[in-house]
Structure 1
Amino acid sequence: MRLFLSVFILAFLAQLFLPWWTLAPLCFGLAAGLGAPGGRAFGAGFAGIGLGWLLAAAWLNVRSASILSHRMAQLLPLGGSGWALVLATALLGGLVGGVAALAGSWARQAVRGPVLVAGK
């Protein structure tokens, strides 16, 4: 939960000033620094970035009356559905965040050894 909240909040702040691809090093560093195991790191990165992008894309879609998203969805095989584009955006962002966080978790394991989870 701590990794998810860290990714969600810091990614929101980073996207205000930095390009989209800075999310990958952010997720990598947070997962490596907080020491989450692989599956949890992927889930936190996927959910943190995916939810952030979903909320941002949905807000922009509603505020623009779906004009831009409808036009962009016509260029892609989405049948012109602006909401399908919003979901595709969230899925793509989630995958970037999840894979980067998983890589960070694996990098930490390579350096320090596997993470021990209490109760297992």
Structure 2
Amino acid sequence: MKFIIATILTILLAFIAGLYLPWWGFAIAAFVVGLLVHQRAGRSFLAGFTSLFLLWLVLAWWQSSANDNILAGKIAQLLGIGNNAVLLMIITAFIAALVAGFAAMSGSFLRSKPVTK
């Protein structure tokens, strides 16, 4: 249950952060959710990873479908993956998901470590 809550909360906070912050603002959202929703580090990573993979993939598809994937196809050609806009969207979603997963895991680790003097 915590996994689903963390996933949905990360998606919502990352979307809101994307409206007001630079592209890396979603990492802050994932970190905060990893800090607030207490889970093991692996599950926290998976929640952050899943959240941002889905969010970034949907947003990339939404933006790219507005121009029939013309720009995404050209960028994919520049990167050497052919005229495959879908593969470009998956690669970018994977990179964003890794960043969010590690941010959420960092938040989980910060919560689990006691502070000693």
Q: TM-score, normalised by structure 2?
A: 0.89
Tell me the amino acid that sits aligned with residue 85 of structure 1. L
Cα separation, 1, equivalents of 2:77 and 2:31: 34
Is the 2:15–2:26 Cα contact (8 Å) retained in structure 1? no
Aligned partner of 2:100 among 91, 94, 97: 97
**Where has structure 1 moved over 3 Å in runs of 4 or more?**
none
Cα separation, 1, equivalents of 2:114 and 2:31: 14
Identity %: 36
Aligned partner of 1:82 among 58, 65, 85: 85
- Give CA deviations for 1:11-69 in whole Å, capped at 9, x if unaligned: 11111121111111221121111112111101110011111000000111211111110
Aligned positions, number? 112
Aligned partner of 2:38 among 21, 35, 39: 35
Residue 52 of structure 2 corresponds to 49
Q: CA RMSD in A?
A: 1.2
Tell me the amino acid that sits aligned with residue 70 of structure 1. G
Aligned partner of 1:64 among 64, 67, 88: 67
Tell me the amino acid that sits aligned with residue 98 of structure 1. G
Tell me the amino acid that sits aligned with residue 74 of structure 2. R
Residue 22 of structure 2 corresponds to 19
Other structure's SS at 1:43 match: helix
Q: Which runs of 5+ in 2 are unaligned?
A: none
Cα separation, 2, equivalents of 1:50 and 1:111: 31
Q: Which runs of 5+ in 1 are unaligned?
A: 113-120
Q: TM-score, normalised by structure 1?
A: 0.87
Offset at 1:111? 2.7
Structure 1 window deviating more from structure 2 (76-85 vs 39-48): it is 76-85
